[in-house]
Structure 1
Amino acid sequence: METDEMSQVEEPRERPFEWWHHSHPTFAGITGFFAGMLFVTAVPGAFVGILRLLFTYETAEQLFPFVLLALALPIFLLIKRKTRRFAQFMFVGMVVTALVVLGVASLVLYFMVDA
């Protein structure tokens, strides 16, 4: 077999994650939105869990407002130009998640008090 025939016979191999395009226009939006959802739910929960393991209940309760320092991460992402689109969608995910949680909690409270 000649080299020309070999190059025609062999097909190029696909890499396993060829479909996962980091530069795709919706990649930053989708990952940012879900990162915001996770940020609103998991970060405060993990923070209070760690505080409760390390300190007494009263001390953990006093230190809990320091979870607001975690907002420095999305703000820093907004400042940097390369991560700005991701951070914008992260804020959207954070706001939507907070609104849904507050809305559901208020409806549950309303129906519990009304009944």
Structure 2
Amino acid sequence: MRHDEVEQDSPLGWWHHSHPTFAGITGFFAGMLFVTAVPGAFIGVLRLLFSYETASNLFPLVLIALAVPITMLVKRKTRRFAQFMFVGMLVTALATLGVASLVLYFMVDA
């Protein structure tokens, strides 16, 4: 079966052939989501199940979630996705810390 026959069978068939752009874009945005949503959801669930004090003490366990992207770095098939995921995580963390530090600076300076 030729490549153009696969595309005619499925309109999104070309995405399933390890398109390099797909892995990069989805990995980057998955990293952004990972940095913002996973800690927020984790503390939300902890706060529903436990008191504020206990939830605060258990929050560092969210670092266990980093096992997922690290494991993806090991496997060859998911390595490219995981590399872009780490880039998305790093850029999001740096942007968040940069904006937070500027806001804090202007609030204290004013």
TM bin (shorter chain): 0.7 to 0.9
Aligned-residue CA RMSD (Å): 1.4
Structure 1 residue 20: deviation in Å?
A: 4.1
User: Larger C-alpha radius of gyration, 1 or 2?
Assistant: 1
- 1:11-41 deviation line (CA, Å, top 9, x unaligned): xx66343564552111110000000000000
Whether 1:96 aligns to 2:91 is yes
| TM norm structure 1 | 0.84
| TM norm structure 2 | 0.87
Once residues 109 and 76 of structure 1 are traced to their aligned partners in structure 2, the CA distance between those partners, rounded to angstroms, is: 36
Matches for 1:31-42 after TM superposition, within 5 Å: 31-42=26-37
- 1:53-102 deviation line (CA, Å, top 9, x unaligned): 00000000000000000000000000111100000000000000000000
Stretches of structure 2 that go unaligned for 5 or more consecutive residues are 1-7
Give the number of aligned pairs.
103
Stretches of structure 1 that go unaligned for 5 or more consecutive residues are 1-12
Once residues 89 and 104 of structure 1 are traced to their aligned partners in structure 2, the CA distance between those partners, rounded to angstroms, is: 22
Question: What is the one-letter code of the residue matched to 1:50?
Answer: V
* Equivalence for 1:10: none
Instruction: List structure 1 runs of 4+ shifted beyond 6 angstroms.
Output: none
Percent identical pairs in the alignment equals: 82
